[in-house]
A = this chain, B = another copy of it.
Amino acid sequence: MSWKGRDVINILDFSREDLDLLFQLANRYADEDYRGNDLENRMAALLFLEPSTRTMYSFMSAVYRLGGKPITLSKTEASSIAKGETFGDTIRMFDSYSDVIIVRDRREGAAKYAADIAESPVINGGDGAHNHPTQAMIDLFTITRYRGSVDGLKVGVLGDLKYGRAAASFILGLTIYDPDTIYLISPESLRLKKEVRDYLDRVGVKYFETEDLTDILPELDVLYVTRIQKERFPDPLEYERVRGSYKIDLSILSNAKDDLMVMHPLPRVDEISTDVDNSKYQYYFKQAHNGVYLRMALLKLIMGD
């Protein structure tokens, strides 16, 4: 299936071949720190109806680097759009103004709905609980860029696996490849949702659930850390206990493999100590930086000639 004009709604809509092509171009952009006029006089609408500054600015930078023009509607402006207008009419309006629509919305299915209405391709910048396909692409690209492939790796995912959109999307994305094992490390109350576990079972990806990081850490090739939000816990004491045990610092990492990649979709609060920032384990800033190149490649494949 060709990338040209394609909507990007769910990471599972893409095959390994699709991603190979995407990552190949992203690698080239990253190697060259590429800038060009590929999207000259093309507009990209960035509809961020839920705030997500990192995703928004990363896309904005990607659009600019290819010579395109961002038309940005942030949450703040969006509130003044309403006046009772439907989401569909808003999408139609921005469809008139731009050549691609990147949409972030709290409601599950919003991006799909927009794609059904718009003539321009629609990219899901995050909707509902599962889908944040471009973040998953960035995560998979980062592993591929530094390890050659996701195949055969032992990948730990740590933190809030129940509500964390990035984590769920990443885990689903892993199933497009053949990782050795996925380790799901979370407190019982923030376990990965049953529907995602069922999917892992169905496609036959090996996974292992645990509350404890210590035992499995030495096995891991990748440790994907996510934020645990206080408001998810009915009991503040429980939160303090969990948060402490999932905080990654150099002392904990002394048991890790030499080439462990510590990743994080950012922003972090304190789940990764700053003493990791200048260590060999740090891949989270690289991951954010790679995000720009990945999104450039995505825009180029979808919109380019």
Contacts and interface: CB of A to CB of B under 8 A. Distances in A.
Interface string A90-130: 00111011100000000000000000000000000000000
A81 B266 CA distance: 11
A270 B89 CA distance: 11
A285 B43 contact: no
Interface residues of A, number: 49
Given A80-B75, A84-B269, A267-B84, A57 B93 contact: yes
A80 B93 contact: no
Nearest to A45: B57
Contacts of A279: none
A178 B218 CA distance: 66
B43 A267 contact: no
Interface of A: 35-37, 40-43, 51, 53-54, 57-58, 60-61, 64-65, 67, 69, 71, 73-77, 80-81, 83-86, 88-89, 92-94, 96-98, 266-270, 274, 285, 288-289, 291-292
11 contacts: A35-B42, A37-B41, A43-B61, A53-B77, A57-B71, A60-B71, A64-B71, A74-B77, A76-B76, A83-B269, A96-B292
